[in-house]
Amino acid sequence: MPTALDDLMETASQALAELDYPRCEALCLDALRQAREAGDWSYYRRIVLPLQEARRQKRQATLDGPIRLGVSQRPDDLKALLPEGDAGCVVLTRPASADDAIAVEALAAQSGRAIEVLFADNVLDAAQWTIRSFRGPAVSATRSGPDPAWRDAWTVAGKTMPPTPAHWFMQASEALGDAALASIASASGSVERVIEIEGLLLAAGDHELLHQALADAARAAHEAGA
């Protein structure tokens, strides 16, 4: 007979089919929590794939929307840092803080829109930008800052070839995920490894290889009888 997890994942599948990627993502995360609490690592592994697909599609939608790379001032109303439309991306820089990034991400989630947020722990005109996690474990990646013409302004994706603001955002996000992937330290086959990688996905939630590593860790935990 169908279980509560089966029902939850059926709803998640419907949300994915309806292109409601934020809802599918939220449902899959709830399912992961339930599977983890039950110690059902086989089911846990199966949940990762639709979660990864929802995040992949959500990311593409965000990159096609308005993109803002950095802020020169912190607005009193953080809603001003959300893009117009259904999707988009924003990188917060100083004087905004990591706590502001958390708040903007929460506002995006409340809106039900596909919006991705990064935090760069540097001022707007810095030559090097340090992309730093604001949820989960401390992870960071440093890269050259974006073209000055792209900073502190909303740009809309066009048909121009890379580099573009969207290209810069994607590479910055990938660099943060790569740093998270390289930090994995728990032993294969252990529950600790699953939990560690799940935590790292809080820092870099759209990283493809991190999702694959999570599925592999869950499979290994199941095979080890963890």
Confidence (pTM): 0.93
1, pLDDT greater than 60: no
The closest alpha carbon to 111, from 150, 156, 154, 65, belongs to 65
What pLDDT score does 162 carry?
Answer: 75
Quote the CA–CA distance of 95 and 76 in Å, as a whole number: 12
Please give the DSSP secondary-structure letter assigned to residue 80: G
6, pLDDT greater than 70: yes
Largest CA distance in the chain: 59
Place of tokens 């039950």: 38
The closest alpha carbon to 138, from 98, 89, 174, belongs to 98
Place of tokens 């994607």: 170
Q: Stretch 113-122: mean pLDDT, rounded?
A: 96
Q: Which of 5-19, 145-159, 170-184 has the lowest mean pLDDT?
A: 145-159
* CB 146 within 8 Å of CB 170: no
Mean pLDDT of the chain: 95
What pLDDT score does 160 carry?
Answer: 67
pLDDT band at 156 (very low <50, low <70, confident <90, very high): confident
Q: Stretch 36-55: mean pLDDT, rounded?
A: 97
**75-107 pLDDT tens trace:** 999 999 999 999 999 999 999 999 999 999 999
90 phi/psi in degrees, rounded to 5: -145, 135
Edge-to-edge strands of the sheet including 128-132? 140-144, 128-132, 114-123, 87-94, 67-69, 154-155
59, pLDDT greater than 60: yes
Please give the DSSP secondary-structure letter assigned to residue 78: G
What pLDDT score does 158 carry?
Answer: 65
**192-223 pLDDT tens trace:** 999 999 999 999 998 999 999 999 999 999 99
What pLDDT score does 163 carry?
Answer: 87
What pLDDT score does 226 carry?
Answer: 85
65 phi/psi in degrees, rounded to 5: -95, -175
